[in-house]
Amino acid sequence: MLNHAALSQVVVWQRAAGSAEVCAFCAIDKFGEQHLLRLANHAGEPDAFEISHSEVEVARDAAGQRGWKIVAFVHTHPQHPPELSPRDARSFARDTVAWIIVGTPTSSPCQRTYPSRFECSG
């Protein structure tokens, strides 16, 4: 789950993006602080996202160089609540990190975390 500062940043990005979904990685530093690494959404339509593989690699490298661990993929639903769409569910099933979806259809954003099936507990 995003902390208040990270959630606020996502909301600012979303307001600037209009109807386009906003995407980012959430990373944790050695002190447990959250950091967002924004990813460009190249989808040419609302209610969708498309991120280039090279940009994902650049973000992963940047996190690694800083000693951060990427713990979640974050994206927004500007017109909908934070539920997995059918397209989201197909992508999420192949992912290895948790997903956090932030719904921003109202003035009070809400978020939902979907743990990765690849995560280990304990």
User: Which pLDDT score, from 0 to 100, does residue 118 have?
Assistant: 66
Q: Going from the N-terminus, what domains does the chain have, and what CATH number goes with each?
A: 4-114 (3.40.140.10)
Does 30 score more than 50 pLDDT?
yes
Q: In this predicted model, what pLDDT tens digit does every residue of 73-102 receive, in sequence order?
A: 999 999 999 999 999 999 999 989 999 999
User: Which pLDDT score, from 0 to 100, does residue 122 have?
Assistant: 43
pTM, to two decimals: 0.92
- Please answer whether residues 11 and 104 qualify as being in contact, where contact means their C-beta atoms are separated by less than 8 angstroms: yes
User: Which pLDDT score, from 0 to 100, does residue 38 have?
Assistant: 98
Contacts of 106 (CB under 8 A, 6+ apart): none
